Amino acid sequence: MDGGVNPLLPDSILLEIFLYLDYKDVLSVGQACRQWQAVARDEVLWKELFYRYYEVARDVPRHPAAVSWYGEFQRLYDTIPCVEVQTLKEHSDQVLHLSFSHNGYMFASCSKDCTIKIWNNDLEFSLLHSSNMKKFNWSYTQFSQFNADDSLLLVSGVFMGPRTSSSGEIAVISLENFTLLSRVRNKPYDVFGCWLNETNLISGNLHRIGYLTSCSVLWLNNAFQGVESENMNVVKRLFKLQNLNASTIRTVMVVDCSRYDSPDFMPNQVERSVSNRATAASQVTDLCSDSEEEEEAKRHTVPEPSAEDSPGAKSKAEAGDGLDRFLTDIIEGRVRPVMTELEMETKVARLLAKKRTKPPEPNLLSMEGCSQKKYLIFTTGCLTYSPHQIGIKQILPHQMTTAGPVLGEERDSDKFFDSLDHVIDIHGHIIGMGLSPDHRYLYVNSRAWPQDCVISDPLQPPPIAEEIDLHVLDLKTMKEVKRALRAHRAYTPSDDFFFIFLDVSRDFVASGAEDRHGYIWDRHYNICLAKLRHDDVVNSVAFSPMEQELLLTASDDCTIKVWRSPRTVRILHAEKPRLRKPLFSWATNQRS
């Protein structure tokens, strides 16, 4: 047929036959002759193979950056970091967290062996430095983060103490000479901490007010605590937030809105809100809202005329009247049904906070001044101690530095608490969060509660599902987009939960799981592309920020595994350059 002889079968018949083959057979028959090779590269054929092999929903269009179906099939097959190339065994206990430097030259690992290890990224990874934090009375290291210019490393750890202890500490290490620059208290320890800018980091503190009520304070700290100057503060209070029903602020991270416009393809560019729950989740939730009984009482109460007509004075008066009325009802026995002491504590705390809380910041979603906007994001709750909500607070320009009043002296003394600017309810136990490289999308690992569950006791949260749902939240619209990703599983109950760290690259999202695997999904097609095997729970994953075809996974089996894509492996192991690249060479090495 290659010698000018008329083909025995027309292209249309060959195409119909090839549609019955899988991709490996199509690649093989494509090497028979020029006609078959041309048909084997037909776009209609590879579109069908693509949807069939990857099990992508037919209504999901091709990635906007793709130029052909054949090329897109090859990209998902050949560029996923699924080939194990190295196993690092220097840790002597469970490895809990991994983080890359922004330039990709280094990464840090935290472990139950209480060390922070810093590694060099070359063709093979090698250990640069190890610090044992036991001398500071730490029990283990749990989290790390490089600052923006990769000159400093934030390390978060947990203090030794009883199991119920929640105290931790943050240390700052210089990456120039690996010296310890400062240490900052951090409570609860699963606030973790994060960088706000190159030299300032955020930590937390927790103050108990009652049995179920507390106050979380978030602090801005200068990384160079040794600097003493009458003109420079080394610490400044950012926010003071009331916690109800045994909830606390945890897992803080900073969103830089100036990065929204950077090129980062979102999966399925046409955003589709998910079911009624997504619509509800996009609304602002008032954590200090009145009960149905009080709202009913307000509707039937005739307001007395008042000379104070300002909104602030009116709000204070209403809050004060509500508390006085509630306390009077308790004394006179008019509260029905009879409330328990814990229910009463929560009710009084809500009413007290109403006249002591600053209003939310206006124009949270406005794109005006977006290049300078930053949000603080954290997990929180209002129904029980397990984190089930995402709290969002805008960081104002004057809060970006420790300069200025230290303990909030600039505040109105009547405004004791800060209010959340926005709340997104996940209706489940949040066990992990990660930002996309452009900071527009927040990926959230959660284990769902039963659909119609009612929480009557804050200390008894609902049972949580074994399946982990990976939600996608658009921080530009504050709405959930797409359907939740699912493949990974967890088995630990609510009272013993631990964080499963995830990471997001330009095209992929990866997560650990308790089923001894790491997982990789494609962000656009919403499909699971690879399972990465370990011998125990996978706690953390990390993409190299410079090459998404390199992924690290950390496990309770005390190892860190290095994974590269089949394409990268071929390049790194090529003994000598080839004069001619074999046809379909990307498919010659099959993935396990």
548 vs 531: CA distance, rounded Å: 16
What is the mean pLDDT of the segment spanning 195-221? Answer: 93
> Are 549 and 82 spatial neighbours (Cβ–Cβ below 8 Å)?
no
242 vs 350: CA distance, rounded Å: 9
SS3 351: helix
Report the pLDDT value the prediction gives residue 429, as an integer from 0 to 100: 94
Which 8-state DSSP code applies to residue 229? B
40 vs 69: CA distance, rounded Å: 12
Q: In what order do the strands lie in the sheet with 508-511?
A: 502-504, 508-511, 517-522, 527-533
9 vs 19: CA distance, rounded Å: 15
How many C-beta atoms surround the C-beta of residue 320 within 10 A?
14
List Cβ neighbours of 583 (8 Å cut-off, separation of 6 or more).
Answer: 30, 31, 37
262 vs 9: CA distance, rounded Å: 50
Report the pLDDT value the prediction gives residue 4, as an integer from 0 to 100: 56
* Bridge partners, residue 484, by sequence: none
Here the tokens at position 2 are 């290659």
The distance from CA 407 to its chain's CA centroid, rounded to whole angstroms, is 30
Residue 536 above 60 pLDDT? yes
Query: Hey, which of 42-46, 336-340, 487-491, 498-502 has the most confident mean pLDDT?
Result: 42-46
559 vs 537: CA distance, rounded Å: 11
What is the average pLDDT score of the chain? 82
List Cβ neighbours of 15 (8 Å cut-off, separation of 6 or more).
Answer: 39, 42, 44, 45
Of 486, 506, 591, 592, which is closest to residue 550 (Cα–Cα)? Answer: 506
The distance from CA 299 to its chain's CA centroid, rounded to whole angstroms, is 41
Residue the block writes with tokens 């990464």: 107
Here the tokens at position 385 are 């101690």
Here the tokens at position 535 are 């011998």
Pairing relationship of beta strands 422-425 and 389-395 according to DSSP bridges: antiparallel
Bigger pLDDT: 224 vs 112: 112
> Residue 492 burial by CB count (10 A; 0-12/13-18/19+): exposed, middle or buried?
middle
What is the mean pLDDT of the segment spanning 191-215? Answer: 93
Q: How many residues does the chain have?
A: 592
Report the pLDDT value the prediction gives residue 310, as an integer from 0 to 100: 39
What is the mean pLDDT of the segment spanning 225-243? Answer: 71
Lowest mean pLDDT among 20-24, 64-68, 89-93, 484-488: 484-488
77 vs 590: CA distance, rounded Å: 9
pLDDT in tens, 302-348: 333 333 343 444 444 455 566 566 556 655 566 656 666 666 666 66
Here the tokens at position 142 are 């749990």
240 vs 475: CA distance, rounded Å: 23
Which 8-state DSSP code applies to residue 102? T
Residue 284 above 50 pLDDT? no
Report the pLDDT value the prediction gives residue 227, as an integer from 0 to 100: 44
38 vs 2: CA distance, rounded Å: 12
Residue the block writes with tokens 């991994």: 98
Bigger pLDDT: 414 vs 174: 174
